[in-house]
Amino acid sequence: MKRSACVPVFVTLLLSLIACASSQAGPQLTEVARGLSQPVAIAHAGDDRLFVVERAGTVRVVVEGEVRPEPFLDLRDRVGSRGGEQGLLGLAFPPGFAASGRYYVYYTDLAGGSVLSRFTATGDGTDPASERVLLRQPQPASNHNGGQLAFGPDGYLYLGLGDGGGGGDPRGAGQSLSTWLGKLLRLDVSGDDLAVPADNPFVGREGALPEIWAYGFRNPWRFSFDPATGDLFIADVGQNAFEEVNLQPAASRGGENYGWNVMEGAACFSPREGCDADGLTLPIVTYPHGPEWGRSITGGYVYRGSALPELQGAYVFADFVSGKVWRADATDGAWQVTLLLDTGFNVSTFGVDAAGELYLADYASGRVYRLAAD
């Protein structure tokens, strides 16, 4: 499965993005679980368990390569998954999970709306009746639901939502501060009720929703924080021309506009020519749609494990359609992208374990793999 290649990449801002050949042996994939159904998210709770989200509405536990027969959580009675981008989409465990048993999921309900809920686990299972709904967002279409949940270094919960679907963002959600659609939200879930952090960038601004942390997204399917630096990497699925990775430095106070639907990647979208990029934060990585790259980015993680020292500090991501996996490295202000693997399958998500080792899922076969040394 190991391949390397020279590939063309686009320039964004003043960063020279170069993809070059690599003669180094890359990582290999080691299977750690099989028999899952449409895995879309992988998470850990600070122990030796991996939690795998199945799109139809269940969370499965994997320990030492075995999938436990009983689901950790079963929401199939309330999850709508008829649309291919709907379902149980996100899962996050807070740092205090071991003491409280509380954790968070994001799913599509039977009416097609998006729901953020808290559950309380007991041992190796969860009573679905423990659900506490914290946020609901009606969805005008069945696609572009976003789906990532992640706790930041600041202890707040971040949630990514897509623009509500339909080609070209017909409702203008990406650039509107009056809707959660097309946004990254920053939420305080430390109490019983949902709260807004006082330092969110749009608190007190007339006509803006205070939960918004950043905007200008089409479908931020997967994002992650670098545990070493606090930097936030946001992969946004493109329309019909480009995929992109956005970077929010750890020192950011939020409020960035990442461009959609004014721009797709680093190119004008609406209008097609002469768009105004002033005030926009452009991506650090873009790639064009086509057989060489694919057409649906799956965001990953900055590698901070120990099994693959050659990957240390690299941002690893993939494309769902092509099945290719790349690393992106910043050197003297330039981002270099190198092909790591051509998996031959649909990479639906990445995850890390408590030790920082990196995993990815094959959507169609229901297998989960760990990136391992050659």
* pLDDT tens, residue order, the chain (374 aa): 433 343 434 434 333 343 443 334 689 999 999 999 999 999 999 999 999 999 999 999 999 999 999 999 999 999 999 999 999 999 999 999 999 999 999 999 999 999 999 999 998 899 999 999 999 999 999 999 999 999 999 999 999 999 999 999 999 999 999 999 999 999 999 999 999 999 999 999 999 999 999 999 999 999 999 999 999 999 999 999 999 999 999 999 999 999 999 999 999 999 999 999 999 999 999 999 999 999 999 999 999 999 999 999 999 999 999 999 999 999 888 999 999 999 999 999 999 999 999 999 999 999 999 999 98
Residue 215 lies in a domain: yes
Residue 2 within any structural domain of the chain:
no
- Flag whether 96 is in a domain: no
Neighbours of 214 (CB within 10 A): 25
For the chain, the domain total comes to: 1
What is d(CA 332, CA 365) in angstroms, rounded to the nearest whole number?
A: 40
Q: How much is the pLDDT for 284? A: 98
- Angstrom distance (rounded) from CA 50 to CA 357: 11
Strand partners, 118: 104, 132
Q: Please report whether residue 148 resides in a domain.
A: yes
**Contact yes or no for 275/262 (Cβ under 8 A):** yes
Cβ contact 149:51 at 8 Å: no
219-258 per-residue burial string, b: 16 or more CB within 10 A, e: under 16? bbbbbbbbeeeebbbbbbbbbeebbbbbbbeeebebbbbb
Dihedrals phi, psi of 327, to nearest 5 degrees:
-115, 145
In-domain check, residue 123:
no
Asked, for residue 128, whether it belongs to a domain, the answer is no
The CATH number of the domain holding residue 223 is: 2.120.10.30
Q: Cα separations (Å) of 206 from 178, 188, 203, 209, 211?
A: 9, 21, 9, 8, 13
Instruction: Indicate whether 105 belongs to any domain.
Output: no
For residue 208, give both structure tokens.
């803006």
Structural domain boundaries enclosing 305: 18-36+142-372
Using an 8 Å Cβ cutoff, are 316 and 46 in contact?
no
Q: Are 345 and 325 in contact (CB under 8 A)?
A: no
- How far is 284 from 335, CA to CA, in rounded Å? 7
Looking at the domain assignment, is residue 281 inside a domain? yes
At 324 the pLDDT is 99
- Residue 25's pLDDT is what? 64
